[in-house]
Amino acid sequence: MTGALWAVIRRDLLLALRQRGDVLNVLLFFVVVITMLPLGVGPEMGTLRLIGAGWVWVAALLASIVSLARLFAQDYADGALEQLMLSGQPATAIVVGKILAHWLVTGAPITLAAIPIAVMFDLGFERAATLVAALALGTPALSLIGAIGAALTLGLRGGGVLVTLLVLPLTAPVLIFGAAAVEATAGGLSPAPDFLFLGGLSLGAAALAPWAIATALRISLE
């Protein structure tokens, strides 16, 4: 079972490497959405400092949704998903492998990209560190919850819009606590409670989502 898990992670990372354009596009999307903020609200540094971190979270949320198209759609179209489900390995192990690989090529780069962006918005060290830590804790939940939507809408016409409508409301808690962590730091409070919520959301999603995703994939394959 762990052998299958590693095999899936390895394969998906190798595929991401071969299709690095797609992976970079998600990161580029994230950065472009963020650079829209000063254009929209004006380059006033005080304002940007105030709403910058929240905006980074919104952009991370959107980027994670955009990246969901990569998760199962190709495997579904070329039949690899059938083979994965018939491999005699636990479907949850395969799902966990795919999501881990997906997080490594989307959630992790987004978390790292937040460092220069925090500098751009002049968040200062403390708030920047809180933002990056919150992203590291929260993006796994985004990948896990998003994957449920991706699995449910697999093979549907107009699935792209539907997945957005399905997933965005479900990820609201991640957004709320992620932005609240940075706000707490700015107000001189400890971000620990928000970190605990974010970590709890990610762990809860890690416990429940793979089972839901495996079931949804089976239904989509019918």
Partner 1 sequence: MLRASDLECVRGDRCLFRGIDLELAPGQCLHIAGDNGAGKTSLLRIVAGLLMPTRGSVQWKGRDIARAREEFGADLAFVGHLNGSKDDLTVLENVRFEAALRGAEAGEDAALDALDCMGLLDFADLAVRQLSQGQRRRVALARLCHPVPAALWILDEPFNALDARTVATLNRLIEARLAGGGMVLLTAHQMIPLPAATRRIELQFRAAQ
Name, in order, each residue with C-beta under 8 angstroms of 89's C-beta and a sequence gap of 6 or more.
Answer: 1, 4
For partner 1, the closer of residues 82 and 126 by Cβ is 82
**Residue 98 Cβ vs partner 1, minimum distance, rounded to whole Å:** 12
- Contact letters for partner 1, residues 87-106 (x by CB under 8 A): xxxxx---------------
* DSSP 8-state assignment for residue 1: -
Rule CB under 8 A: choose which of 24, 28, 35, 83 binds partner 1.
83
Task: Provide the total of helices (H) and of strands (E) in the chain, helices listed first.
Answer: 11, 0
Q: Per rule CB under 8 A, is residue 15 in the interface with partner 1? A: yes
Q: What is the rounded CA–CA span in Å between residue 162 and residue 142? A: 16
**Residue 177 Cβ vs partner 1, minimum distance, rounded to whole Å:** 37
How many residues belong to the site for partner 1 (CB under 8 A)? 28
Q: What share of the chain is helix, strand, coil (3-state, %, to 5)?
A: 85, 0, 15
User: 129 with 39: CB under 8 angstroms?
Assistant: no
Q: What is the rounded CA–CA span in Å between residue 93 and residue 40? A: 44
Stretch in the footprint of partner 1 (CB under 8 A) among 51-59, 71-79, 103-111, 162-170? 71-79
For partner 1, the closer of residues 13 and 186 by Cβ is 13
- Residues in touch with partner 1 (CB under 8 A): 3-4, 6-8, 10-11, 14-15, 18-19, 74, 77-80, 82-91, 221-222
